[in-house]
Structure 1
Amino acid sequence: MTGNGKGPRTSAAGKAMSIFRAFTGDQLELTLREVCDRTNMTSSTAHRWLQDLVAHGALVQSPSGRYSLSKLMWEIGTRCPRASIMREVAMPFLQNLYHITRGHVLLAMPAGDEALLVERLSKSLPVKPVGRVGGRLPLHATGVGKAILAYSPADVRKRILSRNLTAYTCHTITSPQRLREDLAGIRERGYATCHQERQLGVDSYAFPVFEYGTESVVVAAVSVLVEVRSREPDGLLDALRPAALQISRALRKLPLHHPFDGL
């Protein structure tokens, strides 16, 4: 994307969306320089667009000059039907899972080549999970991500496996062949495990959630994160398995007008 008049012309909507997409991960505020780096806009172009978005209430500029998304953007985001319906349907089962396991409980949905964290129920543990609600998680290095990736269409798996896989820790699987074998194992046993692959000191166990209760369309994944070797996995799996099935069955009862085909 270019913002200096050279190369392919970018529409006004495209420029605005590139700025909104710059606010990813756990970084809630960005400087002008950071926005330029993430959008490939020149400083003058980015500054002009940032100021325009501030004037229209989409962004807020702090006294230090940093930019953040406004409450208006949060309000608009909560109206996303797919994510809000999924969260509302899953919440009773997530709360029950949290009370049973007393670990970090995550609900994520497919979002392109990543997983979108829709909900997280947490408690005070020695190690806090990476990621906040509304943020993206890698498919190859998280429990929810691998549960989604294992049951994603073959072209999605092929695309992810063809990339250079980011190593977040020394335990992250970065070999395409090893990841391919891991995904096959997930499909065979029905759940994903992630041992310190995204964050040191954290183990994750995850089950996929399927639309209409079938294994044809994966629409989400639910996981429990615990401190390494602090819990027996069998107890976590016994709590996770019915939670994922119950969410799938609850979705099946809905008269869906917004198919959960990813974001």
Structure 2
Amino acid sequence: MYLERLALILETVGQKEEATVAEICHHTELPKPSAYRLVQELVGAGLLEPVARGRFALGSRLKRIVRSDHSDAALIEVVSPTLRQAAAAHGAAFFLSRQRGRAVEIIHVETPDTGVSFLHPGLGKRPLHACSCSKAVAAFSPDLLASKTLAGQLRAYTEFTLTRVEDLKAELDVIRQRGYAECLEEIERGMCSVAAPLSDTGPGATMSIGATGSTRVFTPDVRARLGTALSSMAQELSHHLSGAVGNGAPAMAAAPEAGA
């Protein structure tokens, strides 16, 4: 009964595009107190979202769930050729990440044949405050951090990790302005990375691509050029994923040699 009521509310809002609690009650015959409580639960879960005073629409989380063309397998199929080309060209590891629930995970990595570059610690979740892939997503997905009480939860992995909420918020502002994020020895000494979201809105804001290498190779100039190049690559990939370009994988935007 509980799940059926939730489904009725989602169906009603989805069919009307937007609905008030009163409209939901009219179409579902739910009592107003029950409808209001269930709507608030759905908003808290990201399945509904307020779009105007008293009006609700389907939430971004639900939209991501039903976008089958954005499954891991579909994403990797489109993105991996571009990352593979970049890894071979620059002798560095390139990765694809996406938001998974309230975390960000690296779901695919392409490494060069030289074997001199690696991604540590491999696939899986990354701290929201200490990795470029996570910060690139968090900067453009405010709901990712909005539900979390950050104070006291920003673990220090190295002496360079941001552990103050004010510092993290300031860095996210910088990321939004320049379009890409950096991680400078924040999770492991001697290692750094650069990442850009696939877009600053929509499903692409929950995904990022990036590159990682040693601080010796990824100098400030190299990171800046890679950040710009990754932003261009991300834009092309975003257009491709949304069907705005042809069926082939997009060409990789020109980027500097990692050791330049």
Equivalent residue number for residue 175 of structure 1: 164
Say if 2:240 is the partner of 1:253: no
Q: 1:154 & 1:243 partners in 2: Cα distance?
A: 25
- Name whichever of 242-251 and 150-159 sits farther off: 150-159
- Partner secondary structure for residue 248 of structure 1: helix
For residues 17-166 of structure 1, the aligned pairs below 5 Å read 82-123=71-112, 124-125=115-116, 128-133=118-123, 135-154=124-143, 156-157=145-146, 159=148, 161-166=150-155
- The answer to whether residue 210 in structure 2 is matched with residue 219 in structure 1 is no
Q: Distance in 2 between matches of 1:119 and 1:125?
A: 18
Deviations 1:89-147 (A, max 9, x none): 11121112212322111111001222121101124337x432333x2111111110100
Residue of structure 1 equivalent to 2:29: none
Question: What's the counterpart of residue 16 of structure 1?
Answer: none
Structure 2 residue 215 is the aligned partner of structure 1 residue 228:
yes
Inter-partner Cα distance in structure 1 for 2:202 and 2:71: 18
In 2 relative to 1, CA 201–157 (structure 1 residues): closer, same or farther, beyond 3 Å? farther
1:136 & 1:80 partners in 2: Cα distance? 22
| TM-score normalised to structure 1 length | 0.59
* 1:241 shift after superposition: 2.0
Q: How many angstroms does 1:158 deviate by? A: 5.4
Distance 1:226 1:89 in 2: 24
Shift in Å at residue 155 of structure 1?
A: 5.9
Alignment of 1:169-208 (within 5 A): 169-208=158-197
> Deviations 1:55-101 (Å, cap 9, x if unpaired)?
xxxxxxxxxxxxxxxxxxxxxxxx99611111111112111221232
User: For residues 157 and 193 of structure 1, what CA distance do their matches in structure 2 show?
Assistant: 21
Q: What SS does structure 2 have at the residue aligned with 1:120?
A: strand
What displacement does 1:194 show?
A: 0.8
- CA pair 151-94 structure 1, distance change in 2 beyond 3 A: same
Percent of matched pairs sharing the same residue: 26
2:188 alignment partner AA? Q
Q: Which AA in structure 1 matches 2:121?
A: G
Q: Please give the secondary structure, in 1, of the residue aligned with 2:71.
A: helix
CA distance in structure 1 between the aligned counterparts of 2:83 and 2:144, rounded to whole angstroms: 30
Amino acid at match of 2:201: E
SS state at 1:250 partner: helix
8 Å Cα contact 2:102-2:144 kept in structure 1: no
The RMSD of aligned alpha carbons is 2.4
> Aligned partner of 2:184: which letter?
H
How far residue 156 of structure 1 moved from its aligned partner, in angstroms, is 2.7
Shift of 1:240: 1.4
SS across alignment from 2:73: helix
* Structure 2 counterpart SS, 1:159: coil
Matched residue type, 1:175: R
Whether 2:230 is the aligned partner of 1:240: answer yes
Task: Summarize the Cα distance change of 1:220–1:160 in structure 2 as closer, same or farther, 3 Å threshold.
Answer: farther
Number of residue pairs matched by the alignment: 171
Partner residue of 2:7?
none
Distance 1:160 1:203, change over 3 A: farther
Change (3 A) 1:147 1:204: same
